[in-house]
Structure 1
Amino acid sequence: MLENADLGKLIIRLTLGGLMLFHGIAKLLHGVGFIEGELASHGLPTFLAYGVFIGELIAPLMVILGYQTRIGALLIAFNMVVAIVLVHSQQLLSLGGSGGWSLELQGFFLFTAIAVVFLGPGRYKLKN
């Protein structure tokens, strides 16, 4: 039977990091105005919006490259908790239009990042 846990960890890292990186690139290209608005509506300083670049650009690159992978995954998980609290808390227990959980994407990012924290990078990584 074919078994390669390290290849599986690499696939999970590339998927999590790659998909999250697209969100970071979008914010880099279009700005963080939406996030600033959400922070302001919760009485928080708007400069915190720039933290999204850590959670959606730097951390995904860390995860993809396997450099300080657990720290990068923890940063992604924290980023997702903040996103859920600020923007999606009213959807936490609701179903989407196609019958799935309204927060499937956010849940995928959050729980996959937590899994990577526990799994580590595997063998296929940058040496650190």
Structure 2
Amino acid sequence: MSSTYHIGLLLLRLGFSAMMLTHGIPKLINLVQGNLDFGDPIGNGNTLSLVLTVIGEAICPLLIIIGYKTRIAAIPTIITMGVAAFIVHAADPIATKEKALLYLIAFIVIALTGAGKHSVDRR
């Protein structure tokens, strides 16, 4: 594989995961502070839904940034974005669910391609 391919994978991982953290870190802060006011889109309860979302939007993107178990780490984020796009925003227009769909597609690509050579897993 060419070096530009691996740079492309690195940029994909860093860019989308860093942007995802802007959604996940506020939720992580709420969880740590005990503010468990969160939606329950799939019937797991508010607290469990928040914990699962924090895993998908904060913990796993951090793992993806460093390239540790990238393909596995992308799975919770894919599930989280699938729930956001197809359950939480199911009745909304495409413009509302567009961000979740873009993240979904990006993390599916990350899961399919892996981290590339610029990652903890490759060291």
On whether the aligned pair clears a TM of 0.5, the verdict is yes
Q: Secondary structure at the match of 1:33?
A: coil
Q: TM-score, normalised by structure 2?
A: 0.82
Tell me the distance in 1 between the aligned counterparts of 2:15 and 2:36: 24
The CA RMSD measured in Å over matched residues stands at 2.1
Q: TM-score, normalised by structure 1?
A: 0.79
Tell me the distance in 1 between the aligned counterparts of 2:83 and 2:53: 10
Q: Percent identity?
A: 32
Aligned to 1:29: 29
Alignment gaps of 5+ in structure 2? none
Q: Secondary structure at the match of 1:83?
A: helix
Aligned to 2:71: 70
Q: Which amino acid aligns with 2:6?
A: D
Q: Which amino acid aligns with 2:37?
A: G
Q: 1:120 to 1:43 in 2, by over 3 A?
A: closer
**How far 1:20 sits from its partner (Å)?**
0.6
Alignment gaps of 5+ in structure 1? 96-100
Q: Considering only CA atoms, is the larger Rg found in Structure 1 or Structure 2?
A: 1
1:4-19 → structure 2 map (5 Å cutoff): 4-19=4-19
- Number of equivalent positions: 116
Q: Secondary structure at the match of 1:127?
A: coil
